[in-house]
Amino acid sequence: MQLSMKSALWSVVLTFSALAAAPQELAAAPPEQKAVLVTGASSGIGLKITERLAAGGYHVYAGARKAGDLERLNAMDNVTSVRLDVTVQDDVDNAVAFIQGQGLGLWGLVNNAGVAALGSVAETTQEDLDFQFGVNVFGVHRVTRAFLPLIIESKGRITTIGSISGFIAEPNASTYCMTKFAMEAFTDSLAAEMAPLGVTVNIVEPGSFKTPIWKKMADQSLAQAGGADAAVPDEARQEAEGIVKFGAGQPEPDAVAAAVQQALFAPSPKRRYMVTPNQEQARETLQNALRRTAELNDEQEFSYSREELVRMLDEALAKP
């Protein structure tokens, strides 16, 4: 795959994904220790979430796939590792049975496990499509469906890690953006279904933060260009190096973990928590959401005037 440096870097910016200031600190867990399952907990955002919740006194069931990661997570205070590949139904079923047997119940589910790959629509293979949807969409649905009875029993919370890519679709990131747009619909539909049962559903929308996914994406980009050997064109190699460098320059995802804690335990949680490392990404996300509203309203039979649209916006802003 041949991408310009600018195109590749901007596509990667969008891989991590409403206005949000830094979430306020919350008190430690109450005496009746609440338990939370975090998928994809071995690194990046998932590990930060695990560390923050465990340090706050909550018990974390940390989902991971590799034996070394499971051992490392299990050694942490207030953490019990759980083998969990979100694409494997047997793993999910076994995780449900294991957590049921621990006796703590389950207050929260954090759907964090996710993957990303670059590529234009023309270049994306069925394998790449299946891979990203398998984890980012079908995996989220599979895990949520399996753990719903436990969450409903506790009248708890379901939080999904979305992305600002659920609002911004850029060239060469179409499949990833498709999966994150899907999480917007998933969140709103599930929230409506769960509200009568006392369960709160929300989504955290990160921008660009430092995680291992940058290196994984760079490796994937090199593989598409011909491998990691000397046969890779200089342009492709430079783009991959730029991806790694960009990722290394981003802040640690501590603010994302703080937003997740807020989403799980705040008395009056929001539906959406956008967390970006700079104002530029926040502005771009909101502009894209507003642009779609304007496009929907443009020259249709029941178009609204500017004044009416502003009034609708005022009404939306006034709602808690």
Q: What are 245-279's pLDDT values in tens digits?
A: 555 666 799 999 999 999 999 999 999 999 999 99
Give pLDDT, residue 251. 73
More reliable by pLDDT, 281 or 28: 281
List the catalytic residue out of 58, 61, 176, 273: 176
Detail the DSSP E strand segments found in the chain: 35-38, 59-64, 79-83, 108-111, 157-161, 200-206, 272-275
Mean model confidence pLDDT for the chain: 86
Distance of alpha carbon 303 from alpha carbon 287, whole angstroms: 20
Q: Please give the radius of gyration of the chain, using alpha carbons only, rounded to the nearest integer.
A: 20
Residues in a beta bridge with 157: 108, 200
More reliable by pLDDT, 169 or 222: 169
Question: Residue 256 in contact with residue 48, Cβ under 8 Å?
Answer: yes
Is 58 labeled as catalytic in the residue annotation? no
pLDDT tens digits, one per residue of 170-208: 999 999 999 999 999 999 999 999 999 999 999 999 998
Distinct helix (H) and strand (E) counts, the chain: 12, 7
pLDDT tens digits, one per residue of 131-151: 999 999 999 999 999 999 999
Give pLDDT, residue 118. 84
> Residue 1 pLDDT > 50, yes or no?
no
Which secondary-structure segment (H or E) carries 280?
A: helix 279-297
Long-range contacts of 120-125 (CB under 8 A, 24+ apart): 120/1, 120/171, 120/172, 120/174, 121/174, 123/1, 123/224, 124/174, 124/175
Residues in a beta bridge with 109: 37, 158
> Residue 296 pLDDT > 70, yes or no?
yes
Give pLDDT, residue 319. 74
CA distances from 298 to 14, 175, 252, 294 (A): 27, 27, 41, 6
> Residue 23 pLDDT > 50, yes or no?
no
> Residue 13 pLDDT > 80, yes or no?
no
Q: Whose structure tokens read 């060469």? A: 172
CATH 3.40.50.720, the chain: domain bounds: 5-277
The class level of CATH for 5-277 reads alpha beta
167: DSSP letter:
T
Give pLDDT, residue 32. 79
Q: What share of the chain is helix, strand, coil (3-state, %, to 5)?
A: 55, 10, 35
Lowest mean pLDDT among 6-20, 30-44, 83-97, 286-300: 6-20
More reliable by pLDDT, 216 or 180: 180
Give pLDDT, residue 24. 47
Q: Which residues of 19-37 are buried (b: 16+ CB within 10 A; e: fewer)?
A: ebeebeeeeebeeeebbbb
Distance of alpha carbon 61 from alpha carbon 294, whole angstroms: 43
Question: Residue 45 in contact with residue 211, Cβ under 8 Å?
Answer: yes
pLDDT tens digits, one per residue of 35-68: 999 999 999 999 999 999 999 999 999 999 999 9
Sign for the CA dihedral angle at 182, 244, 238, 217 comes to negative
| pLDDT grade for 223, boundaries at 50, 70 and 90 | low
